[in-house]
Chains A and B, each alone.
Chain A
Amino acid sequence: MTEPGELEMSRRCLIASGTAGAIVSGAGRAIAQPAPAAPDAAMPVTFDVNGTQQRLSLDPRTTLLDALREHLHLTGTKKGCDHGQCGACTVIVDGMRINSCLTLAVMHEGSRITTVEGLGTAESPHPMQAAFVKHDGFQCGYCTPGQICSAVAVLDEIKRGIPSHASASLTEAPQVTNAEMRERMSGNICRCGAYSNILDAMAEIAGRDA
């Protein structure tokens, strides 16, 4: 067992040595070489995020999700599973919701991207954001940006007449029903189980828009 005093001492030493190391290496870099340039393989890409043109130079491995979070510091979009299974990374690209973790940023030259930050602000929320607050459509909130982007796109998909697995008829226009919304939201997982309240929020917006 480590005594509290020992732990505190060792932490202090660690912090001190770590800080010193940073100073040494920082100074060395400043004198000996210029700041590291982008890696040789970096590629330029330009796309529109929430109405602002963004020009980035990225390692081709960078997913759209990492470009948004790590390079543009739009951290509303969340990394959950990073494998397209949870939906936390959902954004709207050229009018279609996608998993931003399963696409490369360099594949989106010229794309128009909307993240949760582009839907509304704290002062002027998107109606869907306001409805999520009103109906308690979240608990921990981690999946919420993806849920909201998906919910906005789902109502648009129904309006555009795109059928779903829950549609009784393929030839008639789909209706905004609970069964339709539940099926279409199945790519967004909520660990807290706020599903029924998310559905209430969506139903309110669908009713308002209908």
Chain B
Amino acid sequence: MKSFTYERATSAPDAASKAVSIPGAKFIAGGTNLLDLMKLEIEAPRHLIDVNGLGFDKIEDTADGGLRIGALVNNTALAADARVRRSYGVLSRALLAGASGQLRNKATTAGNLLQRTRCPYFYDTNQPCNKRQPGSGCAAIGGFSRQLAVIGSSEACIATHPSDMAVAMRVLDATVETVNAQGQARNIPIAEFHRLPEATPHIETTLAPGELITAVTLPAPAGGQHLYRKVRDRASYAFALISVAAVIQPDGTGRVAVGGVAHKPWRIDEADAQLPRGAKAVAERLFTGARPTPENGFKVPLAERALASVIHEARAS
């Protein structure tokens, strides 16, 4: 690990301002992803700003009947919250399908949104990777791509976003609250938070330099059946090959987002509108323009079948 200096943040605007003014500064919260990458020297911050003491660790009711989840709420606490379990079940289910018990106890809500891809070529520092080293090329294209993106990818990058939680946040229309170095707050709809790779895959979100996530808010409960179906290579503690997050109403309408297929949680409004017509119609719209590799073409029919299973389960219950 490269050496760095360390400080404990005293306020959110102070942390954001230091993240801008100190060269090579980064925030650290749970640290489960950042420290892993620092050991591999894929991340090499020169200064760490520990934001754990800022008090963003509460889940509060909002005036419009929703929830405001502090950025530092850990994945276990969020999944176990009675309000989340009762009214946002897809979020609890997605969180519990991710990582291990030990990691969920440390990983935070904001950190989960910001976690980096698990593309094997991003992790292998002997290989070119436009995300790790902009302009170096992409070894994943033409390489072992079974786990990688089938849609929304570019000539520069075919990595996927690894989060389960973010897929549920996308289907719930969450909003990311931030503060910047000037102390100004901003609300970013989750749909606009993660970027597609295009020519700059190293820029993964629409956060400005130094901008600090303070909370993630959920609108009032949408009702309906909340389902999360994850397909992976082993039954527990593995990243998704594909996952489906869905909220399905008694009349068959609803919303659906898919994980493991793109650089961001994948949701298309027109695909939602096809839900009453069944999985095939939804999948056709979700995957219009898909460009799978010879190794990961299986993800498209797999997602459709997982979606069919989810729709069947919603109708049966």
Contact = CB atoms under 8 A, between A and B. Distances in A.
Contacts of B85: 163, 170-171
B89 interface: yes
A60 interface: yes
Given A102-B36, A102-B106, A60 B93 contact: no
Interface residues of B, number: 35
B247 interface: no
Interface in A151-196: 153-154, 157, 161-165, 167, 170-171, 182-188
A107 B101 contact: no
A150 interface: yes
Contact of A84 (B5, B52, B102): B102
B75 to A, nearest CB: 11
Interface in A37-63: 41, 43, 59-61, 63
A82 B89 CA distance: 33
Interface stretch (B27-35, B186-194, B209-217): B27-35
B236 A84 contact: no
B35 A102 contact: yes
A185 B3 CA distance: 34
Given A99-B103, A107-B50, A163-B79, A63 B35 contact: yes
Interface string B217-244: 0000000000000000001110000000
A183 B93 CA distance: 14
A202 to B, nearest CB: 13
Contacts of B39: 82-83
B212 to A, nearest CB: 17
A187 B92 contact: no
Given A41-B5, A60-B5, A186-B237, A104 B31 contact: yes
Contacts of A59: 3
Contact of A61 (B1, B8, B32, B86): B1
A170 B93 contact: yes
Contact of A187 (B6, B36, B80, B102): B102
A87 B85 CA distance: 27
B92 A163 contact: yes
Interface in B12-65: 28, 31-32, 35-36, 39, 48, 50, 52
A161 B81 CA distance: 10
Contacts of A184: 101
Contacts of B100: 84, 87, 186-188
A33 B76 CA distance: 51
Nearest 7 Cβ contacts at the A-B interface: A187-B100, A186-B236, A60-B6, A186-B237, A170-B85, A96-B105, A162-B80
A104 B35 contact: yes
A121 B76 CA distance: 30
Interface string B73-114: 000100110000110010011001101111101100000000
Given A83-B39, A162-B80, A163-B85, A61 B4 contact: yes
26 contacts: A59-B3, A60-B6, A61-B3, A63-B35, A84-B102, A84-B103, A98-B105, A98-B106, A99-B103, A102-B36, A102-B103, A103-B31, A104-B6, A104-B28, A104-B35, A107-B50, A107-B52, A157-B76, A162-B79, A162-B80, A163-B85, A165-B97, A170-B89, A183-B235, A183-B236, A186-B236
Given A63-B35, A82-B39, A187-B101, 9 more contacts: A41-B3, A60-B48, A83-B36, A96-B106, A98-B102, A99-B32, A102-B36, A157-B76, A170-B93
Contact of A97 (B28, B35, B50, B105): B105
A114 B286 CA distance: 48
Interface string A80-124: 001110010010000011110011101101000000000000000
A41 B6 CA distance: 9
Interface string A55-74: 00001110100000000000
Contact of A162 (B1, B52, B76): B76
A165 B102 CA distance: 14
A97 B101 CA distance: 8
Contacts of A84: 32, 36, 100, 102-103
Contacts of B97: 165
Nearest to B237: A186
B3 A103 contact: no
A109 B35 CA distance: 18
A157 B101 contact: yes
Contacts of B28: 104, 107
